[in-house]
Structure 1
Amino acid sequence: MSGHPSAAAPGGRAQPFSCPYCGEEDLRPAEGGHHCPDCDRRFALTFLGRGAGERHPTRSTTTGGTV
């Protein structure tokens, strides 16, 4: 377990160590997420899953034209 003072929040969820916008480490709990008093932004972190997710083709192969 990390020795950082904000490594775990109540409920066992990990806390961010710094603001993703300005890098400030003094983060405060805010409604639904965290507040950075340095840049005055609120943000929330969301876990989207593991792995790369679905692969989407970048090019349609059904255009019927030549490339």
Structure 2
Amino acid sequence: MNPFQNPYVRGDVVLPERASAYLDRDWHRPGMIQPGDVVTRSFAAIGWTWAGEWSSPDLMHFTATGR
């Protein structure tokens, strides 16, 4: 998934660095993964979970193992 629209977050660190504007998930823009959208539903259908719902969100990744 595109890391710019779906950055990794850990505390004050946002990667890629200039992607912090995309942390506001209420302002939906093209390429952003959202809870319950077609992307998260499609991965859920095969048993994968979205890392965007973790306490330190990794908005671009999905996992089959939960890690």
Taking structure 2 as the reference length, the TM-score comes to 0.26
Higher RCO, Cα 8 Å, sep 6+? 2
TM-score normalized by the length of structure 1: 0.26
